[in-house]
Amino acid sequence: MSETVSLDDLYTDLHAHPELGFQEHRTAAIAAERMRLLGLTVTEGIGGTGVAAVLENGAGPVVWLRADMDGLPVEEKTGLEYASTATVVGADGIETPVMHACGHDMHVTWLIGAMERLAAERADWSGTVVAIFQPAEETIVGAKAMIDDGLLDRVPRPSIVLGQHVAPFPAGIISLTSGAAMAGVDDLTVTLHGRGGHGSRPETTIDPVLAAASTVVRLQSIVSREVTPGKLAVLTVGRLHAGTKSNIIPDDATLDINIRTIDPEIRDRVLGSVRRIVEGEAAASGMATPPTITMNMSAPATVNSAEHTEILRASFADAWGSSIIDYGTVSGSEDVGQFATAAGVPLVFWITGGSDPETVMTAQAAGRFEQDIPSNHSPYFAPILHPTIERGVDALVLGAQTFLGAR
């Protein structure tokens, strides 16, 4: 894309052309090109499709600004002129629609805009800013992939890591939370091994569908009956797959389970309870083969440095006053904290609103926020361009300048 392309056009282009994790070749190339147009040192292909761009401006701290790039296997239903019609063929041979249903297109736009501003305003700060364009956040493996590929040795090591995520708050609002900002995540696949047969002769089978159904119901008792009230824990069975035809009892049934927690002790308790219930339901069904339990991915909670969060809160409050709030811990998950952990430095990660303020106020007044305001991962999720773009760029610039040196 040429240097004359505005951030508006950049965003709508990225939105119309989403790519899944580790397939972000087009997005990464656009980010790299925009960074090279600024004269920055750019490294591509880190951890697959990751990009890092270094803006050096004299002695001082090193601030990393991070944006994730990947979309989701969701069919877009926003009806926007720039809505995605993209599809990909997965490893299973099935064609799947792709959409930026979590706002990573906005994140990339923010980071490009911020780097352009910081490059143009070199007289106002000193130090180094590193832009990190990360792949595969949705599968919580992209940050680790970049780290494992030597990211910390290929660019200046950070003094602090900063980032932000768009969410269905009113555009212009920023939420900063000290300590645990987002939950950790564990993603499991459970396979129950029954014995298949004809649907007319269930007595000759061990029905894994019935066992799976009982397991799903029983799993929902973990949070309500085994987790201390007030402690964050979420357990979702997002997928149940079994069988091919109504009159065939299959051999196996598979559950995909997603767990969100903050407290390590609660995490261990929930994971232990999942195993106990799955194995118990298998035994109750008379299954001779124990169930298979596979951990697909896991990431710890995203924890902000309390000291640095409050420093940034003061900067943001001076600039935007009551637009700065503290929503508290979010049950969604992120892998941005792995950059800070690997480098042994503080993290500050915040949430920036992207919904139309009037629409949000109307929905809240009617008690219909959840029904009327699309959330991240919804096929209807689409941040408004303004003032979302401006506030996000401003926040990254001010965030970086807060921790950089002064001229």
- Binding residue numbers: 102, 104, 138, 165
Q: How far are the Cα atoms of 137, 190, 280, 293 from residue 275, in angstroms, in the given order?
A: 27, 9, 8, 8
CB 332 within 8 A of CB 145: no
Residues 6+ apart with CB under 8 A from 80: 15, 382
Please state the separation of Cα 47 from the chain's center in Å.
17
Contact between 287 and 206 (Cβ < 8 Å): yes
C-alpha torsion sign, points 371, 372, 373, 375 = positive
Distance CA 380, CA 372 (A): 10
Other Cβ atoms within 10 Å of 178 Cβ, number: 16
Say if CB 169 and CB 351 are below 8 A apart: yes
Task: Verify cis geometry, omega within 30 degrees of 0, for the bond prior to 387.
Answer: yes
Query: CA 385 to CA 395: how far, in whole Å?
Result: 15
Measured distance CA(336)–CA(214) in Å, rounded = 36
Can you tell me the distance from the alpha carbon of 65 to that of 396, in angstroms, rounded to the nearest whole number? 7
Query: Binding site for Mn(2+): what residues are annotated?
Result: 102, 104, 138, 165
Q: How far is CA 9 from CA 4, 233, 251, in A?
A: 10, 40, 51
